[in-house]
Amino acid sequence: MAFINDNFLKLPGSYLFSEIARRVEAFKASHPGVKLIRLGIGDVTRPLPPACIEAMHKAVDEMASADTFRGYGPEQGYEFLRRAIVENDYAGLGIDASEVFVSDGAKSDTGNFGDILAQANTVGVTDPIYPVYIDSNVMGGRAGTLAADGHWSDVCYLPCTADNGFAPQIPDRRLDVVYLCYPNNPMGTTLTRSQLAEWVDYALANDTLLLFDAAYEAFITEPDVPHSIYEIEGARRCAVEFRSYSKTAGFTGVRCGFTVVPKDLTVKAADGSRVALNAVWNRRQCTKFNGTSYITQRAAEAIYTPEGKAQVRATIDYYLRNASTMLSGLRAVGLEAYGGVNSPYIWLKTPAGVTSWEFFDKLLNEANVVGTPGAGFGPAGEGYLRLTAFGTYEDCLEAMDRIAKNIKK
């Protein structure tokens, strides 16, 4: 008889975005013909950059000829893309192409990285947090049991609230692993260079592994906000960084990202020896992953051409204009809203006494706007709702108009 991994049975019955989809479908069934404006799930709406399309067409043509056909590629990613990443995203930061692993996206890598970490590791997360960080540790047996208040017993939560400027406090105890996501999803907030340096100092002093999700770094506009954790001295010895092309270049349907695992980064084995994470992650990928497609990697490489950079910048600026429009529109009607400056996300405080899911339903039914309840991102997310700037500019304007007319503070 086969047995299930019981850790999967500990997960709540419905994934956050599945529950949102269920409620939206129920609304559509009872309100046919009503136009919904979807500002909930963080999917993009702008087309792929022309440079990427051109590169993909050329790569497809190569696959049609025996002379240029490509079969299995390197599990770590083709050298041409890894080199482009190092030369453009990490220039001057001491990162080598052998430390870059191309994948099908940051979500996969952040979820899969726990494969190479022992079950006994203590885990810290900012709260609220992207659900994959928590759920993957539940699956890995590191989270404990779920309490009625939404906390997992073995997870250290680092609350991010308006009272602390949405910046997590450094733990007063040692943790083995800490997840950081900046610019943050869902809050849209950032850490300054000095704030991030405090985390690196903590990690080095406590032999803590930082898993740093920088999927939204391209949206950074302020000079004191680091684009990479490796801009901080010492980070190569304590941090793994995850990147994605999903939101920067519209690759949500193409799937491509990468993870940087410096060779300086080691962790302890059961016998007390130090093990290089780069080699272990490489072994994991070679066993469980056959690499991102050649066509996709050629498209990603095109992002780094002069034309590609300009086209991606235009797309990001489009979404940032949406975010600015939403931020000012929400504040104009007396609602508290955060983020939207270095990020495509708006973190909206619900009216007094209204829960996240109640406000979700209110927006859906009264303004016909879809958001994401903050409670789905962790206990500290209760009382907030996330809106994304990935819709069209016209939809963002209309959504703010609907909220102004239908939603009172």
Residue in the block written with tokens 């994470």: 277
3-state SS string over 339-387?
ECCCCCEEEEECCCCCCHHHHHHHHHHHHCEECEEHHHHCHHHCCEEEE
In this structure, what DSSP letter does residue 171 have? P
Question: In a 3-state reduction of DSSP, which class is residue 285?
Answer: helix
How far apart (Å, rounded) are the C-alpha atoms in residues 348 and 184? Answer: 14
For residue 144, is it left (φ>0), alpha (ψ between -120 and 50) or beta? left
Q: What kind and span of H or E run contains 130? A: none
What is the Cα 98 distance to its own chain's centre? 23
Cα→Cα distances 247→240, 374, 392, 407, Å: 20, 20, 14, 29
Cα→Cα distances 334→350, 370, 403, Å: 11, 20, 11
How far apart (Å, rounded) are the C-alpha atoms in residues 247 and 215? Answer: 8
Residue in the block written with tokens 């479908």: 25
The residues near 305 (Cβ < 8 Å, ≥ 6 apart) are 51
Q: How many separate helices (H) and strands (E) can be counted in the chain?
A: 12, 15
Looking at the DSSP assignment, which residues form a beta bridge with residue 184? none
What is the pLDDT, as a whole number, of residue 409? 60
Angle 197-349-186 from CA coordinates, rounded to 5°: 45
The model's pLDDT over 214-265, given as tens digits with 9 standing for 90+, comes to: 999 999 999 999 999 999 999 999 999 999 999 999 999 999 999 999 999 9
Sheet with 345-349: strands ordered across: 337-339, 345-349, 384-388, 372-373
The parts of the chain modelled with pLDDT lower than 50 are: none
What is the pLDDT, as a whole number, of residue 13? 75
How far apart (Å, rounded) are the C-alpha atoms in residues 377 and 386? Answer: 10
pTM, rounded to two decimals: 0.96
Instruction: Give the end-to-end CA distance of the chain in Å, rounded to a whole number.
Output: 57
